């Protein structure tokens, strides 16, 4: 860890202000090239603590870079995780206000709704499924605070993995009724299909991705809790959108989730 106390506070303020002011900023590693993943997760934690001081509540986790394609694009071999807070939850029946974002993109995801606490370092996909009450279709809105979504892994972890908003569809299914890796997905914008994918794109199985995050948290004595919502990672590339666009994600068996923007 190369981070000093003054440095972490400065970075947290920098990223927090960028989000509040809806402003793109230069990536953190331009100024602090030596910071590493451990530093980045520590900055992320402090950023969330700052949100909590301002009244937000942690309600779950999100995974990122879970697809091989995205890992190769970034030249990394590991996924990343960030936190979801209650103010990130967006509602399907309300239009998203474009002015609240910097340069948002939408990603298709499968959400896990957790019914029991789960901690450990050897947690498996089966363990995750056994504490999952429901799975649901979801859309994550990512909105990196960095200029043109240009960042290193360290930068994106510090920035809470570009988290911004998320939608959970209204159909909830018992995961035992499905083979999540076989679920197909089609994402369209204004009726035009732009992305397709399958559950297997998420580290082979979305529950494997969640197990990875639980084990990673386990290294720090943390875990996931009853009531958590977990976004298991994008099934395809993200797509950008503008005011008056409508994005729809249709999953085989899992249902549909959509939003429009104004």
Using CB under 6 A, list all residues that contact ligand OOG.
Answer: 64-66, 70, 107, 140, 142, 144, 149, 156, 161-162, 233-234
Looking only at the bridges linking them, the beta strands covering 118-119 and 229-231 are unpaired
Rg (CA), the chain: 17
- Min dist CB 41 to ligand OOG, Å, is 15
**Closest distance to ligand OOG from the beta carbon of 231 (Å):** 7
Which CB, 11 or 63, lies closer to ligand OOG? 63
3-class SS letters over 145-212? CEHHHCCCHHHHHHCHHHEEEEEECCCCECHHHCCHHHCEEEEEECCEEEEEEEHHHCCCCHHHHHHH
> Cβ closer to ligand OOG: 123 or 202?
202
**Between residues 70 and 205, which has the closer beta carbon with respect to ligand OOG?**
70
Cα angle value 164/167/168 (rounded, 5°)? 140
Q: Are strands 229-231 and 58-64 parallel, antiparallel or unpaired?
A: parallel
- Nearer to ligand OOG by Cβ, of 162 and 208: the residue is 162
CB of 143 to ligand OOG, least distance (A): 8
Least Å from the CB of residue 28 to ligand OOG: 14
């Amino acid at each position: 860890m190369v981070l000093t106390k003054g440095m972490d506070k400065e970075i947290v303020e920098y990223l927090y202000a960028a989000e509040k002011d809806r402003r793109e900023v230069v990536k953190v590693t331009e100024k602090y090239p030596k910071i590493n993943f451990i530093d980045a997760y520590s900055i992320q934690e402090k950023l969330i603590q700052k949100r909590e001081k301002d009244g937000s509540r942690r309600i779950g986790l999100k995974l990122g870079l879970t697809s091989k394609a995205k890992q190769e694009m970034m030249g990394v071999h590991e996924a990343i995780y960030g936190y979801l807070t209650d103010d990130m939850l967006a509602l399907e029946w309300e239009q998203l206000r474009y002015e609240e974002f910097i340069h948002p993109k939408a990603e298709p995801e499968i959400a896990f709704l957790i019914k029991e606490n789960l901690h450990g370092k050897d947690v498996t996909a089966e363990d995750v499924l056994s504490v999952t009450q429901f799975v649901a279709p979801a859309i994550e809105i990512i909105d990196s605070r960095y200029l043109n979504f240009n960042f290193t892994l360290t930068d994106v972890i510090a920035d809470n993995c570009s988290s911004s908003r998320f939608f959970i569809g209204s159909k909830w299914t018992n995961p035992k009724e499905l083979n999540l890796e076989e679920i197909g997905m089609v994402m369209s914008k204004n009726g035009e299909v732009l992305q397709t994918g399958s559950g297997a794109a998420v580290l082979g199985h979305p529950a494997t991705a969640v197990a990875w995050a639980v084990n990673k948290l386990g290294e720090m004595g943390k875990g996931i809790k009853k009531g958590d919502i977990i976004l298991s990672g994008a099934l395809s590339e993200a797509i950008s959108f503008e005011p008056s666009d409508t994005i729809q994600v249709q999953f085989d068996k899992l249902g549909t989730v959509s939003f429009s923007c104004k």
